[in-house]
Amino acid sequence: MGMTGVLRPGHAAIRVLDMKEATHFYGEVLGLIEVGRDSYGRVYYRAWDERDHHSIVLREADSAGIDFFGFKVDSVATLDRLEAETQAYGLKTSRVPAGDLLQTGERVRVEIVSGHTIELYAEKGKANSPQMVDNPPPWNSESERGIAPIRLDHALLYGPDIEKVQDYFVKVLGFYLTEQILMEDGKTQLAIWLACSNKAHDIAFVRHHEPNKLHHVSFLLDTWEKVLRAADIMSMNKISIDMGPTRHGVTRGTTIYAFDPSGNRFETFSGGYQTYPDWDPLTWTWDEVGAAVYYHDRALNPAFLEVVT
């Protein structure tokens, strides 16, 4: 049960430039499981240990990036309540009818001040099979194909007014701030990490002059060794690696950043700490920003701030 009524990140809708290239990458290299295609040409995937129908939706488009990022809530009553509270807060909402995404119920869509579209939904079809839930093995054939992440973990989004984004996520959706990086003045936030659970984060934002930009979608692996294995698979398939394998100071997670064939950055991530809403957020100052992002190198790769889709 989510602490706030928001359970977890539920899906990311990603724009790709060439669907044939994208389906090979997401299916065979990343190792997600294709679960369906719809009449709009969108392709749906889930990670091997996820219980809902899908977590990734691909749409072919003229530009790469993200269409929306969705969170699952614990009930239709919670969905209705959060919609009303979002409207009372001063943000407009719209309803997307059930069935617009495969096996997904009605969704509440909100455009936040960073320009991103956030969705909330309560109902999605299950991916459970007897092999997944009855006397399950610790791994199966799907967990050995490609990189094979466990689940969609989080997204990092770039846009303006992230302090206002934080205000909405905290006051309305019940998230809490787990970490932050401050700019040179020691007050203005460069980046924020927010959680609705006891993970290190479920979504993060970096201050950026352009709205509605994607930095990365992140997939969870169970161990550092699996991150190293992911690096091997990326190199074997000539995937463009941005940074890593390395460790973050923020979240303490181990990581690789790389790019899909359309130029969308993705992360393979493991580790990170557990946190709770009554904890004070961890703060990184500008003089340690390099270690905050890349703890081993202790230097910030300029592409981390500049390359987005």
Supply the residues annotated as catalytic: 154, 201, 216, 248, 257, 267
- Taking the C-alpha atoms of residue 205 and residue 99, their distance in angstroms, rounded to an integer, is 30
| 295, two tokens | 């703890």
Exposed/middle/buried for residue 39 (C-beta within 10 Å: 0-12, 13-18, 19+): exposed
Amino acid found at 285: T
| 41, two tokens | 């040409």
Peptide bond into 245 cis (omega under 30): yes
- Taking the C-alpha atoms of residue 196 and residue 89, their distance in angstroms, rounded to an integer, is 19
CB-CB contact of 209 with 114 (8 Å): no
Return all residues near 202 (Cβ < 8 A) that are at least 6 apart: 8, 9, 71, 154, 175, 194, 195, 196
